[in-house]
Structure 1
Amino acid sequence: MKLVYVFDAYCGWSHGFSGTLREVVSRHPGLTVDVVSGGLFTGERRVPLSAFGYIEKANADISRMTGAVFGEGYRRLAAEGSFVMDSEAAARGVAALRRSAPDRAVELAMALQHAFYVDGLSLSDPATYRQLAEAAGLDADAVVAAFESPDAREAAEADFRRSAELGVTAFPTLVAVDGSRAVPVARGHATADEVDRRLASLGIPRTS
C-alpha cells in the first residue's frame, strides 16, 4: 500500500495541509507517497487573483484551522490583484522537481507552495524553479530545462488524468492506494491524528 497526495500548488488549503502531511510522512517513514498535481486553475479557470473576492477570508480560515502562514510577498501579490494562477505551469514545475529528486517529492511540493504563499513568487517563472533547486541542492539547470520541456507538459496532463481517475474532486486529497483499491483518508483539512486513525482502520499502523 502507498499514499497518493493529490494537491494543487495554487490551492490555499493544500498549503494549509503541509503541516499535517509533514507529520504523517514522519510517522510512516516506510510508506511511499506519490505527489500528484490536480489542476485547479486551468483553462477558463485561470483568472486574476482579484476575481476571488473571498480570498482574504478563506486564507484567514486556513491560518486559523491549520496554522499556515501567508507571507508578506504573497499578501502584496494578492492585494495588487493582477496575478493569474496557472495550475498547468505549476504542475510542470512539480513534475520537473519530482523528476530531479523522486524521493523528495513531498518536501519539494511543500517548498513550491512556500515559494508562492510566503514569498509571493510566480510558479510560472523558470527563475522560481532555479531558486528552489539551488536551495534544495539540486542541479538548477536540469530542473529549469525539465520545467520548460515538452515532457513536463505531458507529465502535468498525466497528473490531471490520475487525479480524475482517483475520483478526486477537492484539493488536497490524501488517498491510500492498494492495487485497484483507493480510499481517501483526508480531504481539505485533517489532523495527523485523524489521518493516523483512518490509516489504522486500513491496517496501516503508525511506525514512528
Structure 2
Amino acid sequence: MKLIFVGDPMCSWCYGFQREMTTIAEAMPALEVQVVLGGLAAGSTQVLDDAGKQFRLGHWARVEQLSGAQFNREALLARKNFVYDTEPVCRAVVTARLIEPSANLLTVFGAFQRAFYVDGLDTTDAKVLAAIGASALKAAGFDVDADAFLSVWSSEEAVRVTREDFALTRRLGVSGFPSLFVELNGKIGLLSSGYTSAASVQQTLMRLAA
C-alpha cells in the first residue's frame, strides 16, 4: 500500500495540513509515501496586487483557525511586484528528489513551506530556493551546496520531471490541494481532498491495510 500526497508548497491549505501529514508519516513509518507536486499556480504571470493579498489573507485566517499554523502576514503585505508563480518552488522539491532520491521529501516540502509562510522569503527566486533546498538536504545528512542545487534546479531534466508531476496531478483528477490517494493492489483511489485530520486518514489507511 502506498499513500500519494499531492500538494504545492505555496498552497496555504497544504501548509496547514503539514502537521497532519507529518503525524501520519511518523505514526505509520512502514507506509510508503509519494510526494507529487501539483503546480497550484504554475506559470502564473499575474502580479499580486492589494486585492490579491487580501484574498490570500482571508484564506490564511481560515487555515490558521483550523490548523493552528502561523503565517507571516507582514511579509506578504510588504511584497512589491510579486508574481505568485508556484512552478519554481515545485521544481525545487523535485530537484531535491533528483539529487537525493532517498531524502524525505515531506521534510524538504516543509522547509519550503516555512520559508514562504513563516520566514517571508521569496520562494520564486532561484537563488533563495537553492539555499533553502541545500540547507534542508544538509540537515538530513546529505552533502549538497547551494550552487549544486541551483545547477540541477536550472536543468532541463528538472523542468521536465516537474511537468511530469503536474501531468500526473491532472491524470489523477485532482480538484483541490492537498489531496491524498491510496495505491493498493495496483489500483489508485482518492482518500481525501482538502484539509483533513491525521486521525481520519490513519483510520482509513488501517482499515484498508486490514
TM-score normalised per structure 1: 0.88
Question: What is the Cα deviation at residue 75 of structure 1?
Answer: 3.0
Question: What is the Cα deviation at residue 179 of structure 1?
Answer: 4.7
Mapped to 1, the partners of 2:178 and 2:74 lie a distance apart of 22
Which amino acid is 2:137 matched to? A
- 1:91 alignment counterpart: 90
Say whether residues 1:128 and 2:134 are aligned partners: no
Question: What is the Cα deviation at residue 81 of structure 1?
Answer: 5.3
Instruction: Output one character per residue of 1:30-66: Cα deviation in whole Å (capped at 9) or x when no partner.
Output: 11111111111134x4423325242112101101101
- CA contact 2:96–2:137 (8 Å) conserved in 1: no
Instruction: Report SS of the residue matched to 1:182.
Output: strand
Residue correspondences, number = 201
- 1:37 alignment counterpart: 37
Mapped to 2, the partners of 1:80 and 1:106 lie a distance apart of 27
- CA contact 1:175–1:182 (8 Å) conserved in 2: yes
Instruction: Report SS of the residue matched to 1:61.
Output: helix
Instruction: Report SS of the residue matched to 1:85.
Output: coil
Instruction: Report SS of the residue matched to 1:168.
Output: coil
Mapped to 1, the partners of 2:123 and 2:23 lie a distance apart of 25
Alignment RMSD: 1.8
Question: What is the Cα deviation at residue 168 of structure 1?
Answer: 0.9
Q: Which runs of 4+ in 1 moved over 4 A?
A: none
Instruction: Output one character per residue of 1:97-132: Cα deviation in whole Å (capped at 9) or x when no partner.
Output: 122233311110111111111112222222223322
Question: What is the Cα deviation at residue 172 of structure 1?
Answer: 0.6
- CA contact 1:18–1:110 (8 Å) conserved in 2: yes
TM-score normalised per structure 2: 0.88
- 1:55 alignment counterpart: 56
- CA contact 2:177–2:193 (8 Å) conserved in 1: yes
- The percentage of counterpart residues that share the same residue type is 31
Say whether residues 1:187 and 2:193 are aligned partners: yes
Which amino acid is 2:193 matched to? R
- 1:16 alignment counterpart: 16
- 1:167 alignment counterpart: 173
- Relative to 1, partners in 2 of residues 1:123 and 1:80: Cα closer, same or farther, differing over 3 Å? closer
- 2:101 alignment counterpart: 102
- Relative to 1, partners in 2 of residues 1:42 and 1:134: Cα closer, same or farther, differing over 3 Å? closer
Mapped to 2, the partners of 1:114 and 1:69 lie a distance apart of 9
Mapped to 1, the partners of 2:93 and 2:58 lie a distance apart of 27
Which amino acid is 1:184 matched to? L
* Stretch deviating more after TM superposition (127-136 or 138-147): 127-136
- Relative to 1, partners in 2 of residues 1:108 and 1:135: Cα closer, same or farther, differing over 3 Å? closer
Instruction: Report SS of the residue matched to 2:74.
Output: helix
